[in-house]
Structure 1
Amino acid sequence: MNLLIESFEGGIYLAYYVENQHKNLIRDEQKKPLKFQSLEQARHHFRDEHFSSATLVHNNAYDEMCGEDDGNSPPLEIDLCWH
């Protein structure tokens, strides 16, 4: 299983379990999306779990806001090398 962390404007990070191309949002005990305020906070939370990979996905809204986005730009993906 893989871990995917997606960053959003405002310093919000959401985490997903990814298996066989299916992305499942990780939720807390109240069934709300588990939110992190930094990558370090997410790393600490998942420190005892073992994943095949951990990836950060960053969607940049800046280009779209400035009229530069053509709609075909893939998000930035970074291997986090957490193992």
Structure 2
Amino acid sequence: MNLYIESLEGGNYLASTGMGATRTLVRDKKSQPKTFHCLNEIREHFYSKSFEHVWLRQSTPYEEMVGQTDHPGALELEIER
């Protein structure tokens, strides 16, 4: 199983677990998407879990806002687990 972290504007993150396109978004007690405020908060949440890969994805609208349309999409990189 992998951990997928999505970086949002304003320093917030969403996390999901799974493999490839089959992912489950982490939710809070009210079944709302759980928002994390830093990567360390995500590490603490998953302290007892082990993942094969941890992926960080950062998509930003700023490239489009300044006319850079040749960007292939969101930046996605594997980070240390």
Instruction: Please give the range of the TM-score, normalised by the shorter of the 2 chains.
Output: 0.7 to 0.9
Letter in 2 for 1:80: I
So what's the TM-score if we normalise by structure 2?
0.87
**Are the structure 2 counterparts of residues 64 and 20 from structure 1 closer, same or farther at C-alpha, using a change threshold of 3 Å?**
closer
2:80 maps to 1:78: no
Per the TM alignment, residue 67 of structure 1 is displaced from its structure 2 partner at its CA by: 2.2
Give the letter for the 2:26 counterpart.
I
Q: Distance in 1 between matches of 2:17 and 2:28?
A: 13
**Equivalent residue letter for 2:50:** H
Aligned residues: 81
CA shift for structure 1 position 74: 2.4
Query: Following the alignment from structure 1 to structure 2, what is the Cα–Cα distance between the partners of residues 40 and 80?
Result: 13
In the TM superposition, 1:1-83 aligns within 5 A as 1-70=1-70, 73-82=72-81
Cα distance between partner residues in 2 of 1:47 and 1:8:
22
Structure 1 spans left out of the alignment, 5+ residues: none
Structure 2 Cα separation of the partners of residues 23 and 69 of structure 1: 28
RMSD: 1.5
Cα distance in 2 for residues equivalent to 1:65 and 1:32: 30
Instruction: Give aligned-pair identity as a percent.
Output: 37
